[in-house]
């Protein structure tokens, strides 16, 4: 017996608006049909072509034969005591990724993954311990938003809406550039999820050429994972720094701001006891922050099994913040959410198969010496 042929249907979740229009033209339909179907997919969250009642029967049959709407399936859902929700999503082939929803009084933020695992090897992130397996497809990225929107819609006793999306889950989004850009366009498209540009944030460990490419490709908010105020320390915490040191990274941020004057930049800084949380570090950081108008987001370190690091004490965190604020700069402390279900920053692991080989391939591909520490 031969194995069944893989589905040759087009997964419509892989297509942005232009791709949808091209697909509908390819089956002899007008472009506005693509728009109608996008509304069914992203506004009404319908999966079944038969339920798309404003399409003719013949078109519905064509779609049934040629296309599909396929997203990751929920493996496990967990709800934290603080209302944070985490879904472990199953991917074809046995891998799994994690998506997290964080409700706050005035907004609901969805934290979306971009890769299965991650190859960047940041010392303080549990995703790094999983190694890298592969990039997610557009459908797997936008599918996370759709799965969450459906799941949250089922919760009737509370208003739970997705008002913001942050590409801050598993993976380095700028190393999965095309799929991430396409998925972010569906998040912002009126025929997609219709979020304002500034409510979609891409977080990066600092890939300089791709930050430049992003400024040309999308108008979104940028978050940059800084975590250290000098190259010596950052080389250790974020090995990517050996390739793109702080000065180069800040210059890329300045170019991003020049190209996208309306989009904001946030620097993320995870505070680890005795490592990067001393007053001297804060003072060094001020000099860097003065070069790029931005906000500093201080993240108390979230521990995970096997880590060598500890969270800074509350007094150290406040003292660090005060030094920054006293210099007239913006600094907030991110409240830890969902850590009782391992849903907090840096705690997402999913399930990453076959990671060693893929990690090696990945490192060869990006030409990094990320293991060298």
* Residues in contact with ligand SAH by the rule CB under 6 A: 122, 124-125, 168, 172, 203-205, 225, 268, 270, 299, 301-302, 345-346
Nearer to ligand SAH, 40 or 276 (CB): 276
Q: How far is the CB of 97 from ligand SAH (least distance, A)?
A: 12
Closest distance of CB 166 from ligand SAH, Å: 8
The residue among 38 and 275 lying less far from ligand SAH, judged by its C-beta, is: 275
What does 24-78 look like in DSSP terms, one character per residue?
HHHTT--HHHHHHHHIIIIIS----GGG-TTS-HHHHHHHHHHEE---PEEEEEE
Least separation in angstroms between CB 346 and ligand SAH: 2
Sheet holding 221-225, edge to edge: 73-79, 85-90, 96-103, 108-111, 164-167, 200-204, 221-225, 265-271, 295-300, 330-333
Contacts of 57 (CB under 8 A, 6+ apart): none
Question: CA 334: distance to chain centroid?
Answer: 17
122 versus 187: smaller Cβ distance to ligand SAH = 122
Residue with smaller CB distance to ligand SAH, 87 or 309: 309
Q: Kindly report the backbone phi and psi dihedral angles of residue 300, in degrees, each rounded to the nearest multiple of 5, phi listed first.
A: -60, 130
Give rounded-to-5 percent helix, strand, coil for the chain: 40, 20, 40
- Position with the least CB separation from ligand SAH: 346
Q: How far is the CB of 348 from ligand SAH (least distance, A)?
A: 8
State which residue, 38 or 225, has the beta carbon closest to ligand SAH: 225
Residue 91: name the closest of 4, 202, 170, 174 by CA. 170
* Active-site choice (71, 85, 98, 316): 98
Q: Is 98 part of the annotated catalytic residue set?
A: yes
Phi, psi of 332 (to 5 degrees): -120, 160
Please report which residue ranges of 39-172 form alpha helices under DSSP H.
57-66, 138-153
Minimum distance, C-beta of residue 226 to ligand SAH, in the bound complex (Å): 8
Catalytic residues: 98, 345
């Amino acid at each position: 017996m031969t194995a069944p042929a893989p589905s040759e249907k087009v997964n419509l979740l892989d297509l942005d608006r232009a791709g949808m229009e091209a697909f509908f033209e390819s089956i002899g339909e007008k472009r506005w049909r693509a728009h109608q179907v996008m509304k069914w997919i992203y506004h009404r969250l319908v999966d079944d072509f038969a339920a798309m009642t404003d399409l003719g029967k013949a078109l519905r049959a064509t779609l049934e034969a040629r296309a599909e709407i396929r997203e990751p399936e929920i493996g496990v859902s967990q709800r934290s005591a603080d209302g944070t929700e985490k879904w472990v999503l199953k991917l074809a082939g046995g891998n799994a990724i994690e998506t997290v929803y964080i409700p706050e009084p005035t907004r609901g933020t969805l934290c979306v993954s971009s890769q299965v695992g991650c190859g960047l090897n940041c010392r303080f992130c549990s995703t790094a311990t999983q190694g890298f397996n592969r990039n997610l497809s557009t459908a797997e990225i936008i599918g996370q938003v759709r799965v969450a929107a459906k799941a949250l819609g089922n919760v009737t006793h509370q208003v739970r809406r997705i008002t913001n999306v942050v590409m801050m889950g598993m993976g380095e989004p700028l190393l999965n550039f095309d799929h991430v850009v396409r998925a972010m366009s569906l998040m912002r498209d009126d025929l997609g999820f219709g979020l304002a540009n500034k409510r979609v944030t891409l977080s990066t460990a600092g890939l300089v050429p791709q930050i430049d490419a992003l400024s040309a490709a999308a108008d979104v908010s940028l978050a940059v994972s800084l975590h250290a105020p000098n190259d010596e320390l950052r080389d250790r915490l974020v090995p990517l720094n050996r390739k793109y040191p702080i000065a180069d990274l800040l210059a890329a941020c300045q170019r991003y701001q020049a190209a996208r004057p309306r989009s904001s930049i946030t620097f993320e800084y995870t505070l680890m006891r005795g490592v990067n949380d001393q007053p001297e570090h804060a003072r060094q950081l001020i000099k860097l922050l003065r070069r790029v108008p931005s906000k500093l987001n201080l993240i108390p370190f979230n521990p995970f099994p096997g880590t060598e690091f500890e969270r800074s004490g509350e007094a150290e965190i406040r003292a660090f913040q005060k030094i920054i604020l006293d210099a007239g700069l913006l600094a907030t402390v991110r409240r830890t959410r969902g850590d009782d279900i391992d849903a907090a920053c840096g705690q997402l692991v999913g399930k990453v198969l076959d990671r060693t080989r893929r990690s090696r391939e990945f490192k060869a591909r990006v030409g990094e010496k990320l293991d060298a520490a």
